[in-house]
Every structure is written in structure tokens, then in C-alpha cells.
């Protein structure tokens, strides 16, 4: 898998550990993943912080297919697609062999949006991946997909917050070499400061409760 998300200026969040409840997947659960995809994922995680310090470079939403089986609708390098749950979980593992995945669930006041959001996500299957991380270009990166489907479900009122993107080394204004090379290959300027969103930022949203961990993402403080 290639690039899945982007670097955003976000304030790190640290809350209580996931609730100790019996976990059962429900439609609309957000699956946050620490993907080991190389330099680009490392660059994303270097400038963002997820829930309890977790390095999160990908996110998808749980839904059911026509057979009643759970799938994860996600935007990856091949575009927006439905991925079998187990395939998603098998992408990256922690030191104990568990998937580096944590689960966020919308709080009760937002859960009525889930059916419409999933309908939007299904309709977007086949849309191309957004390599340049631009909002409103009919292409989608992983967290942009989640932002957009809930925006549409909520009558164009955002559930998750856009923030200025950064591709710079932390505490400097120097763009990371990996991003310079990435955008040079696309022949577009580095979109430093433009609005965007990333998995870590969504995981810290007050609209969500983190309810379960499959395994331990890098950086996660239990």
C-alpha cells in the first residue's frame, strides 16, 4: 500500500483509555490504523499525534456488504474501495502479532448520521485517490473520505474539523525532503498551509469515543 494520509498541524490529544466494554463492531465505527508504509507514513506520523499519542496514518469506516459481512470502506492508492475486514486488520501488526488498529465510535448525538454517511461512502467507491490532498476535487485520501461523507450526511455542516496542513519538519519551516520529492514528481507545489484533515486529528475529535484497541499502534500510551 502506498500513501494513505497527510501531515496536518494538530494538537495532540490524550484522554482516558478506551472504555472497558464488550466490543462488538457496528456500522459506522471508524477503524484507525498505524500502517507501516515507509517514508511517507513516517513523515505523516512525525508531524501528527493521534489519540493517546498513537501514530495513525490511515482510517476507514465499517459497513456491511450484501452478504451481511463487515467491510471497511476506505480510500487507498487504488481509490475508494470496500475491503474485507480481515484483510484490513492483517496489514500491520504490533510486537505481539496484533493489528495496529484502534476503533472510534460516534457519540450518540451524531450516530443518526451514520446510515447517510455509509450511503455516501458506497456511492464514492471507484473514485480516484487524491494524490495532491486537495479538498473538493472529486478525489479522496483516507481521512478526506471520512470528512466528506459525514459533511454530506450532516447537511454540509462539518462533523470533523479541517486544519492547515504542514509538510515541514517539526518546529521549523523547512519542508521535509520526502515531501519535496513527492510533490515534485506530481509537478505541483507543496500545499503547505492549505486546509486538510488526517487520521490522528479525527481520532482526537470530540465527536468520537475511542472504544477498543486490537493491538498497540506505535507511540500509543496505554
CB 58 within 8 A of CB 202: no
CATH architecture of the domain covering 30-213? Alpha-Beta Complex (3.90)
CB 29 within 8 A of CB 62: yes
Burial of 15-34, coded b for 16+ CB within 10 Å and e otherwise, reads eeebeeeeeeeeebbbbbbb
Render pLDDT for 36-86 as a digit per residue (tens, 0 to 9). Answer: 877 887 777 777 789 999 999 999 999 999 999 999 999 999 999 999 999
Render pLDDT for 202-221 as a digit per residue (tens, 0 to 9). Answer: 999 999 999 999 999 999 99
Predicted confidence band at 194 (pLDDT cuts at 50, 70, 90)? very high
Predicted confidence band at 1 (pLDDT cuts at 50, 70, 90)? very low
Render pLDDT for 114-151 as a digit per residue (tens, 0 to 9). Answer: 999 999 999 999 999 999 999 989 999 999 999 999 99
> How many Cβ atoms are within 10 Å of 4's Cβ, its own excluded?
27
Q: Per-residue pLDDT for 13 more than 80?
A: no
Name which of 61, 158, 75 is nearest 118 in CA terms. 61
Name which of 167, 197, 172 is nearest 183 in CA terms. 167
CB 192 within 8 A of CB 166: yes
Dihedral of CA atoms 30, 24, 63, 120 in degrees, nearest 10, equals -50
> How many Cβ atoms are within 10 Å of 216's Cβ, its own excluded?
20
Phi-psi region of 148 (alpha: psi -120 to 50; beta: other; left: phi over 0): alpha
CB 8 within 8 A of CB 166: yes
Amino acid at each position: 500500500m502506498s500513501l494513505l494520509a497527510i501531515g496536518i498541524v494538530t494538537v495532540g490529544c490524550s484522554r482516558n483509555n478506551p472504555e472497558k466494554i464488550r466490543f462488538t463492531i457496528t456500522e459506522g465505527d471508524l477503524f484507525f490504523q498505524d500502517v507501516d508504509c515507509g517514508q511517507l507514513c513516517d513523515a505523516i506520523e512525525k508531524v501528527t499525534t493521534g489519540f493517546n499519542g498513537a501514530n495513525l496514518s490511515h482510517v476507514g469506516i465499517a459497513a456491511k456488504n450484501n452478504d451481511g459481512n463487515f467491510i471497511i470502506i476506505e480510500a487507498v492508492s487504488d481509490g475508494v474501495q470496500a475491503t474485507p475486514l480481515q484483510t484490513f486488520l492483517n496489514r500491520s501488526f504490533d510486537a505481539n502479532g496484533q493489528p495496529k488498529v484502534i476503533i472510534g465510535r460516534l457519540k450518540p448525538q451524531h450516530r443518526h448520521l451514520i446510515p447517510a454517511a455509509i450511503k455516501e461512502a458506497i456511492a464514492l467507491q471507484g473514485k480516484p485517490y487524491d494524490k495532491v490532498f486537495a479538498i473538493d476535487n472529486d478525489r479522496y485520501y483516507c481521512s478526506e473520505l471520512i470528512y466528506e461523507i459525514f459533511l454530506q450526511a450532516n447537511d454540509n455542516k462539518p462533523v470533523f474539523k479541517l486544519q492547515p496542513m504542514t509538510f515541514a519538519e517539526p518546529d521549523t519551516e523547512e519542508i521535509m525532503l520526502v515531501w519535496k520529492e513527492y510533490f515534485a514528481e506530481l509537478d505541483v507545489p507543496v500545499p503547505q498551509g492549505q486546509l486538510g484533515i488526517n487520521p490522528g486529528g479525527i481520532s482526537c475529535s470530540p465527536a468520537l469515543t475511542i472504544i477498543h484497541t486490537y493491538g498497540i499502534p506505535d507511540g500509543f500510551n496505554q
